[in-house]
Structure 1
Amino acid sequence: MDTSSHAAPSLDPRELRRVCGRYATGVAVIGACTPQQRPVGITVNSFASLSLAPPLILWSLARHSPNAGLFAPGAPFGVSILRAGHGELARRFATPSPDKFAGVGHRRCPHGVPYLDEALATLSCRVERADPVGDHLLIVGAVEAFTAGEGEPLVFYGGDFVRIAA
């Protein structure tokens, strides 16, 4: 199945990004490990629940990401859903750095992948599939365990972090 797509030449990618930015999203950090067991973290706002039976989530990662190879079928990964006020943490994991976890409270799940200590919720997953779609990998994760706390989520809207109005 060919899942590639081609944009019409008249569509401006920056304008499309601005338009899609009108949809508010939560923010999460995906944690994984290199073959040498070095923790890796990636900020995403493409996270979503896909299925309850079986329990599946999905998110996407740029195909050119240096970490794309870590998300082959069967590979473990963790999801840390960020709390309101964690904008700096989201920016940290969105910026290239050799050790994003240095000085950041975290723990390893049973599969060894990192979770952030202050996360609003966490999910322990394995890659069910990773399909190239356009310039991204669409990653479907099978949920194996999860935790949830109380509080407000970090929300991304219009290119910045915002608070939810009651």
Structure 2
Amino acid sequence: MTKLLLAVHVLAAVITIGPVTVAAGMFPAAVRRALAAPGEPSHLATVRTLHRICRVYAVVAVAVPVFGLATANSLHVLGSAWLITSIALTVLAAAVLGARILPRQGSALTSLDGPAELLEPTAVQRAAGQLAIFTGVFNLLWATVTVLMIIRPGSTTGA
């Protein structure tokens, strides 16, 4: 059962967190392209699609910690420092995504999608810059969790 839980945990991480990291990373550049060519509908469509990917996969990614905790429980490592650190970093990554990235993406999309006379390009550019920073933090948190999961103390891989 532990192997099945671990497999589902890893697959959920790859399938859900990967698209969020890529889409969130592409979002600021897509916003800048949409600002540079305000009449181009494909740029706005790209921004919409990237935001939708981030929103949908963020919700589905709840499966990652659920199966991770189930796996940790079956391995009897719930009290391990590396796991507690990973959980804390996962919570922090989720907070960055939910409180910083998704709201700013939504605001940028609303600004780009609204009437042209209400568009404030400087504010949208600033939001794109902030999104790039927050996305970098989000990706760094997930990279750290991934490394902790691979080189965890007491690993049976011998690494």
Tell me if both proteins adopt one fold, taking TM over 0.5 as the criterion: no
Could you say which structure has the higher strand fraction?
1
Q: TM-score, normalised by structure 2?
A: 0.21
Q: TM-score, normalised by structure 1?
A: 0.20
Could you say which structure has the higher helix fraction?
2
Structure of greater Rg: 2
